[in-house]
Amino acid sequence: MSVTNTPVAKKATREGFGDEIVKLGKENKNIYVVDIDIGKSCKTTAFMNAFPNQHVNVGIAEQNGAGLAAGLATTGKIPFISTYAVFGSLRMAEQIRQEACYPNLNVKIACSHGGLTPGNDGGSHQAIEDMGVYRTMPNMTVIMGADYHSTRKLVEKAANTYGPMYLRFTRDAVPMIYDENEEFEIGKAKQLKDGKDVAIIANGDTVYLALQAAEQLEQEGISVKLLDMHTIKPLDREAVVECLEIGKIVTVEDHNILNGLGSAVSEVVAEEGKGKVRRIGVQDRFGESAPYEKLMELNGITIENIVATAKELLN
Amino acid sequence: MIELKETTIEELKEKAIELRKAAVTMVYKAQSGHPGGSLSAADIISALYFKEMNVDPANPKWEDRDRFVLSKGHVAPIQYAALALRGFVPYETINTLRQYGSPFQGHPDMKKCPGIDISTGSLGQGLSCAVGMALAAKRDEKEYRVFAMVGDGECQEGQIWEAAQTAVKYELDNLIVFVDYNRLQIDGTTDEIMPLQDIEKKFEAFGFETKNIDGHSMEEIVAVLDEVRGSTNGKPKCIVANTIKGKGVSYMENVVNWHGVAPNDKEYAQAMEELAGGLK
Ligand SMILES: Cc1ncc(C[n+]2csc(CCOP(=O)(O)OP(=O)(O)O)c2C)c(N)n1
Ligand SMILES: [Mg+2]
């Protein structure tokens, strides 16, 4: 794989969705966007303008939007419901369970404002449970890309793979890690570094932090294996099992440490009966108004804490 | 007995200007927040906090107080402005909107800010909470009233109507709901995004006693509050307030984009200058 060396450019991954969905909508007239009065913020305006016949705005009515999308899916359309992560997961959770997951319909939920990225909006708008909620629903796939390009690729794969899926994006700009030719497969971890002392498994906006931490550890002579686990369900079990050759794993996520990436990895580790895991993520507490970086710091989702946690595991 | 503050209409108008200034200042300092819907709500908030509602800044959790539920929680700045001007928090708190550690969270947070009766921010949910509060007043034979404000766009949420039917079933004549009918939401006008049809008739059909006013006429706001005060007819009240999103700041008025953006230095200066001249 190719990682661009000095990632300075930043872009919000919601932009990746907004750009890719236009490309997809042009190629495939069955691609629909179901907006819920936050199209501007979720970057679907270009799609709406280009393909008005493939676009619906249901107003501020998430549950209705979810059901409508399921109805569209029964006719062969591929609806992408677009809203903020907190509403796209929790507000419509049961509609998605009953009408998309249970009948296994091809409904995609594509949400901006994942994790702590809506910093100053406060705790009401920070989605820390969303991936966990959807991870527990049978048939559902749960994805968060690490940067703009990987998000585009994953959105494309999602459109071309049958089944209910939850895709989560950042509100804030995050560093670009991959170049545009990098390929991604749903359910297959992307190895960013191979190493032998400690494994770090991250996803979404924390992959860049993990990459920085890994480089710091390497400078100190510690060899790191680093995985971008963009799909937490289905989890790339094989990739986790491979990490067990090292036996020491740090997981990093912008999500509650309960029932997200860290939990998914821990389940595999426990079942295999060997290895140790340390979970870095939101410490099972609600957020509050603050800059995104401050909120990450309050929860220990930082380069320094990843480095310290890896070292602690080595001792 | 319902106790009222003796505030004249002129004074309420002045307070509404002070509220607007404080709300715009908050959003400007935070460089984030929702000015449009704060300004459309300002006159109603003024009448409630400076005349109608029986609340005690020194004892914000006083159990007999009137309640206020800002169901359209994104316009927290206008409620915070009232709380700051009434002394629930020090006035300087207006400089801390959306900052780490501030009682003025991005959306109202009852655990962090005195005077907030319920945390809101996810649209469509607050009215149900208001119904719960009003129901408790009936069961406990208390005289307090519950005032709620919902957005017009917010009325697209089904839960609003679930709350409405419950308010009617339990004959909550102590519940007064304002619809801030500014005809705009985020992606466009309510007519473009999801037409509300006749919002007043809808509430009426549910069994509410309804009123229709100019939400920027302090005379009409005060008059309608006079009318519904002390009602024992068993009907919850819905006051459809025709408003202008951004009211009081010319370049924000009726401009959909001012829903959730902050003014820059120049725009802020102009807003303060215009507001100093009162409402047009
Ligand atoms: C459940 C939910 N969905 C979406 C949002 C995002 N959102 C915030 S404000 C808003 C528009 C509100 O419009 P309206 O109720 O008319 O309020 P106003 O015009 O008074 O600002 C939306 C969609 C939200 N806060 N909650
Ligand atoms: Mg409105």
Q: Is residue B2 part of a domain?
A: no
**Per-residue confidence (pLDDT) for residue A2, from 0 to 100:** 44
- Specify whether the CB–CB gap between A113 and B99 falls below 8 A: no
Number of domains chain A is built from: 2
Per the omega criterion (within 30 degrees of 0), is the bond before A164 cis? no
List, for residues A40-71, the tens digit of each pLDDT value.
999 999 999 999 999 999 999 999 999 999 99
Looking at the structure, tell me whether residues A16 and A80 fall in a common domain: yes
CA A144 and chain centroid, separation: 2
Contact B105 A57 (CB under 8 A): no
Domain that includes residue B13, residue range: 9-276
List, for residues A254-286, the tens digit of each pLDDT value.
999 999 999 999 999 999 999 999 999 999 999
Domain that includes residue A77, residue range: 10-175
Number of domains chain B is built from: 1
Q: A91 CB less than 6 Å from ligand 1?
A: yes
List, for residues B122-148, the tens digit of each pLDDT value.
999 999 999 999 999 999 999 999 999
Contact B105 A288 (CB under 8 A): yes
Q: Is residue B75 part of a domain?
A: yes
Measure CB to CB from residue B154 to each of A60, A63, A120 and give the nearest one: A60
Looking at the structure, tell me whether residues A87 and A194 fall in a common domain: no
Looking at the structure, tell me whether residues A214 and A285 fall in a common domain: yes
Looking at the structure, tell me whether residues A162 and A208 fall in a common domain: no
Q: Helix, strand, or coil here: B178? A: strand
**What percent of chain A lies above the pLDDT cut of 70?**
98
Q: How many CB pairs under 8 A join A and B?
A: 89
A38 contacts on B by Cβ (under 8 Å): 186-187
Looking at the structure, tell me whether residues A216 and A167 fall in a common domain: no
**Per-residue confidence (pLDDT) for residue B43, from 0 to 100:** 98
Q: What is the mean pLDDT of residues A227-234?
A: 98
Looking at the structure, tell me whether residues A51 and A149 fall in a common domain: yes
Nearest-by-CA chain B residue for A88? B122
End residue of a domain, out of A130, A149, A175 = A175
**Mean pLDDT taken over chain A:** 97
In the numeric block, which tokens belong to residue B130?
A: 């208001």
Of B81, B88, B69, residue with least CA distance to B34: B81
Q: Is residue B61 part of a domain?
A: yes
Q: Is residue A184 part of a domain?
A: no
CA–centroid distance, residue B130 to ligand 1 (Å) = 18
Q: Is residue B144 part of a domain?
A: yes
- CATH at B128: 3.40.50.970
Q: Is residue A52 part of a domain?
A: yes
- Whether A59 and chain B come into contact, CB under 8 Å, resolves to yes
Nearest-by-CA chain B residue for A90? B122
Q: Which helix (H) or strand (E) holds A148?
A: helix A148-159
Looking at the structure, tell me whether residues A24 and A165 fall in a common domain: yes
**CA of B75, closest atom in ligand 1:** 21
In the numeric block, which tokens belong to residue B244?
A: 């202008």
**Per-residue confidence (pLDDT) for residue A107, from 0 to 100:** 98
Query: DSSP string of B187-213?
Result: SSBHHHHS----HHHHHHHHT-EEEEE
List, for residues A11-21, the tens digit of each pLDDT value.
999 999 999 99
Of B71, B93, B96, B98, residue with least CA distance to B82: B93
List, for residues B166-199, the tens digit of each pLDDT value.
999 999 999 999 999 999 999 999 999 999 999 9
Question: To the nearest whole angstrom, how far is the Cα of A4 from the nearest Cα of chain B?
Answer: 33
Q: Is residue A218 part of a domain?
A: yes
B262 DSSP 8-state letter: -
Q: Is residue B138 part of a domain?
A: yes
Q: Is residue B122 part of a domain?
A: yes
- CATH at A270: 3.40.50.920
**Per-residue confidence (pLDDT) for residue A5, from 0 to 100:** 52
Q: Is residue A38 part of a domain?
A: yes
Looking at the structure, tell me whether residues A31 and A100 fall in a common domain: yes
Low-confidence ranges of chain B (pLDDT < 50): none
A288 contacts on B by Cβ (under 8 Å): 100, 105, 109, 112
The residue whose C-alpha atom lies closest to atom 13 belonging to ligand 1 is B185
Contact A57 B193 (CB under 8 A): yes
Q: What is the mean pLDDT of residues A297-301?
A: 98
Looking at the structure, tell me whether residues A87 and A204 fall in a common domain: no
Looking at the structure, tell me whether residues A299 and A199 fall in a common domain: yes
- Whether A294 and chain B come into contact, CB under 8 Å, resolves to yes
Q: Is residue A124 part of a domain?
A: yes
In this predicted complex, what is the ipTM? 0.94
Across B92-111, b (16+ Cβ under 10 Å) vs e yields ebbebbbbeebbbbbbbbee
List, for residues A65-112, the tens digit of each pLDDT value.
999 999 999 999 999 999 999 999 999 999 999 999 999 999 999 999
Contact B186 A123 (CB under 8 A): no
**Per-residue confidence (pLDDT) for residue A1, from 0 to 100:** 45
Q: B180 CB less than 6 Å from ligand 1?
A: yes
Q: Is residue B183 part of a domain?
A: yes
Mutate to test the pocket of ligand 1, among B184, B186, B247, B261 (most ligand atoms within 8 A of CB): B186
The reply to whether A62 belongs to the active site is yes
Beta-carbon contacts of A138 under 8 Å, excluding residues fewer than 6 positions away, are A101, A102
Catalytic hit among A20, A27, A62, A271? A62
Instruction: Count CA within 13 A, CB hemisphere, residue B268.
Output: 16
Q: B42 CB less than 6 Å from ligand 1?
A: no
Q: Is residue B3 part of a domain?
A: no
Question: d(Cα A13, Cα A150) in Å, to the nearest integer?
Answer: 9
Measure CB to CB from residue A120 to each of B30, B157, B193 and give the nearest one: B30
Looking at the structure, tell me whether residues A28 and A139 fall in a common domain: yes
Handedness of CA B32, B38, B42, B47 (dihedral sign): negative
Instruction: Indicate the pLDDT class of residue A6, thresholds 50, 70 and 90.
Output: low
Looking at the structure, tell me whether residues A17 and A154 fall in a common domain: yes
